[in-house]
Amino acid sequence: MENVVVIRYGEIALKGLNKRYFEDKLVSQIHNAISDLGKLRVYKAHSRIYVDIDNHNVNDITERVKKVFGIVSLSVAKRFEVDMDKIREVALQELKDRMEENSNIKTFKVESKRADKRFPLKSLEISRDVGGYLLENTDNISVDVHNPDIVINVEVRDKAFVFSNKIKGFGGLPLGTNGKALLLLSGGIDSPVAGWLVGKRGVEIEAIHFHSYPFTSDRAKEKVLDLAKILSIYCGKFKLYSINLLPIQKEINEKCPEQEMTILSRRFMMQIAEKVGVENNCDALITGESIGQVASQTVKSLYVTNASVDMPVFRPLIAMDKVDIMALAEKIGTYETSILPFEDCCTVFLPKHPVTQPKLDRIMKSEDALDVERLIDEAIENMEVEKITLED
Amino acid sequence: MEVYLDNAATTKPRKEVIENMLKALENQYANPSSLHKKGVEVEKEIKKIRKTVAKALGCNDKEIIFTSSGTEANNLAIKGIADAYKRSGNHIITSKIEHKSVLNTFTELEEKGFEVTYLDVDSKGFISIDELKKSIKDNTILVSIMHVNNEVGSIQPIKEMSKVIKNINSKILFHVDGIQSFGKIKINLKDIQIDSFSISGHKIHGPKGIGALYIKKGTKINPLLSGGSQEMGIRSGTENVPGIYGLGEAVRLSTEEIDNNIENLKKLRDYFIDSFENEVEGGHITSEKSDVFAPHIINVAFPGVRSEIMLHSLEQDGIYVSSGSACSSKRKGFSHVLEAINMKDDLIDSSLRFSLSYINTKDEIDYAIEKAKEYYISLKRIIKR
């Protein structure tokens, strides 16, 4: 009998002729996620992926695996040769183990699946048989088919599987199956979540960050690095481009109307991101914008910002409420870091009354006072690049 | 060029200090409590260092306790005394401009039921002796005052204060936080009626992680830690031998050179203040060229330019200083000291602390002032508009 992690994937099974490609990607992503935990075999069979466990720490493995995009759920199962006596015995042991761990378990149910139709008992019959056996051989527990405290699962395939837990994955698609996009990453709550959501759709991520040093602190940069590291738990290794926007902000400050500072800065950021994106094979930009959150995120402002680039801009948070974004940030583990007080964006230049209803022609006219191309090129020339990995 | 002007935050350990610490790490690593001769060797050395520290303060070596930091020394003195004397009274006094290691210890005691008076200060950071006198009550058991304020540099008249306190009731205990003053102001505890006095290693070119507390003979103090009864039972825990060795060397050097150092510091400070006043147009300066201000702390402001921006601008040229307010434009980041001296918001928001060491030079100050002046002009132009 062996211990094995059974990994189920939903959506990618639908991908027709590409299915194999998606599955192989998923296998390799899972492998990447746990390769430093010891020698572990990851393989697919019959529309599932398995990880064979030996003396490894099971929790470490499941904690890592459940964060891999494309996984619907996983279970830690016992696997053995198909044999009804053995199934009863293993199921009983599983139930006893769980009851020992948790004294609140008072009801159970057996669920069965028969993938191998040559097996003489139908799934309902397996459940009834095993359930009866369990009931006979345990005390203080009864059957509840509607709302059980625990479900003992039995599956009959080429081998028999018994398990009682089902850990939910994040779903989505395996990383790297959908091209690459560049995330505009700030130190705030929203942008890491936006990157995560798009990453979940299998899109490889790179990130670009804007600061105003020395008007902002190095600690703010460190904070963005920390956020990027958390993202890389899900999105793998990626590059973080760091741009000092201060020279541009100074120029805007000097030559353009005060209330347009923010929207003009946003347009510069988008254009710089687009240019860096093109140079690094990204086909889209990702932002954490959400309608109405701040002055630069009214629909009119978004229109003006959007008009500065040709590349598609993904805004996965566009219609989400702040509380929901915060809840997601907590779930993926970026919230704590995001709320640290260091400002990454310069508040010195924050206009007292920023425009909320900008007009594109007027904004573009303001830009006429600036040597936009030169400013963008200079900003990119002075760009710093950091490789983000989980280690260190 | 690197110009380190944040010496009130911490100082660079001297070579001699590091060498002495290495001796403890490489050779004299035994536990001073061990019976064997290797342990005794260390014990003897610590005894010698205790004498050095005692001599520097003008007290007996039996009155010196080594702690893990200045913060611990303050905590030990205040909590230890409050606990030991709580039967005699419930009222304790401190000021509004204390370091957090004192202030937060007092708030903790307040939450535990002590009655606390927080004395006000004037616009230069001085406590009124009159007010101190008036605040003392029948049930007062402890007064804790800092000798030199770490942000503005004001020196409290601790000798006068001790007389006032002890004249009213000689049983009231007087703790002085001497962390910023030790090594910069001559102190002789023989001449002042102080019951406890805290110092820290890393403010005098010694190591971090070591402090000491003078506790006047006969003063009861309840320990914070339970354990092997090291340090005469007042501070359990195996001695931080490398730290003590480093502290000893730093204290030895500081004592030896103190007259020279103070003179140098005063010259540097006066030079800084003069240059600042002459060069930085529109700049504001709180500290003064006067003997009631510490010779190493200079609080200035660049109205209109947030402290952090100036701080980060200067750091680009290798000039390191501290800001009076922590980040953000929100009020909660404001320094409690600058608020207590009633500094105007725009000054608090733009204040920087330059703190000197005797190893700084006039050239360094010229360089720092020149850069500060340049940045102030250009930043004001950008920000004001």
- Condensed to tens digits (0 to 9), the pLDDT of residues B2-26 reads 999 999 999 999 999 999 999 999 9
Tens-place pLDDT, residues B236-290: 999 999 999 999 999 999 999 999 999 999 999 999 999 999 999 999 999 999 9
Q: Are A4 and A51 in contact (CB under 8 A)?
A: yes
Interface contact A217-B313, CB threshold 8 A: no
Q: Cα distance from A341 to chain B (closest Cα, Å)?
A: 8
Angstrom distance (rounded) from CA B77 to CA B214:
9
Domains for chain B: give ranges and CATH numbers.
3-9+258-384 (3.90.1150.10), 15-253 (3.40.640.10)
Q: Are B236 and B214 in contact (CB under 8 A)?
A: no
Interface contact A254-B329, CB threshold 8 A: no
Judged against a pLDDT cut of 50, whether residue B327 lies above it is answered with no
Judged against a pLDDT cut of 80, whether residue B333 lies above it is answered with no
Taking the Cβ of residue A213 and every Cβ of chain B, the question of whether any pair is shorter than 8 Å is answered with yes
pLDDT the model gives residue A176: 86
**Active site includes B327?**
yes
Tens-place pLDDT, residues B168-225: 999 999 999 999 999 999 999 999 999 999 999 999 999 999 999 999 999 999 999 9
Q: Please tell me which residue in B327, B346, B377, B378 is annotated as part of the active site.
A: B327
Taking the Cβ of residue A216 and every Cβ of chain B, the question of whether any pair is shorter than 8 Å is answered with yes
pLDDT the model gives residue B328: 41
Q: Cα distance from B310 to chain A (closest Cα, Å)?
A: 8
Taking the Cβ of residue A348 and every Cβ of chain B, the question of whether any pair is shorter than 8 Å is answered with yes
Angstrom distance (rounded) from CA B56 to CA B39:
26
Q: Are B208 and B202 in contact (CB under 8 A)?
A: yes
pLDDT tens by residue, chain A, 392 residues: 899 999 999 766 566 777 888 889 999 999 989 988 888 899 998 889 999 998 888 889 999 999 999 999 999 999 999 999 999 999 999 999 999 999 899 999 999 999 888 999 999 999 999 999 999 999 989 999 999 999 999 999 999 999 998 999 999 999 988 899 999 999 899 999 999 999 999 999 999 999 998 888 888 888 999 999 999 999 989 999 999 999 999 999 889 998 899 999 999 999 999 999 999 999 999 999 999 888 778 999 999 999 999 999 999 999 999 999 999 999 999 999 988 877 666 667 777 788 888 899 999 999 999 999 999 999 999 999 999 987 65
Judged against a pLDDT cut of 60, whether residue B330 lies above it is answered with no
pLDDT the model gives residue A170: 93
ipTM: 0.71
Distances (CA, A) of A306 to A59, A145, A311, A350, B107: 44, 54, 9, 21, 53
Instruction: Give the mean model confidence (pLDDT) for residues B47-58.
Output: 97
Domains for chain A: give ranges and CATH numbers.
1-80+169-177 (3.30.70.1510), 82-158 (3.30.2130.30), 180-388 (3.40.50.620)
Interface contact B328-A216, CB threshold 8 A: no
Angstrom distance (rounded) from CA B250 to CA B270:
25
Give chain B's length.
385
Cα angle, residue B185 at apex, residues B182 and B188 outer, rounded to 5°: 80
E strand or H helix at A190, and its extent? helix A190-200
Q: Cα distance from A359 to chain B (closest Cα, Å)?
A: 24
pLDDT the model gives residue B45: 97
**What percentage of chain B reaches a pLDDT higher than 90?**
91
Residue A146 CA neighbour count, 13 Å, CB half? 0
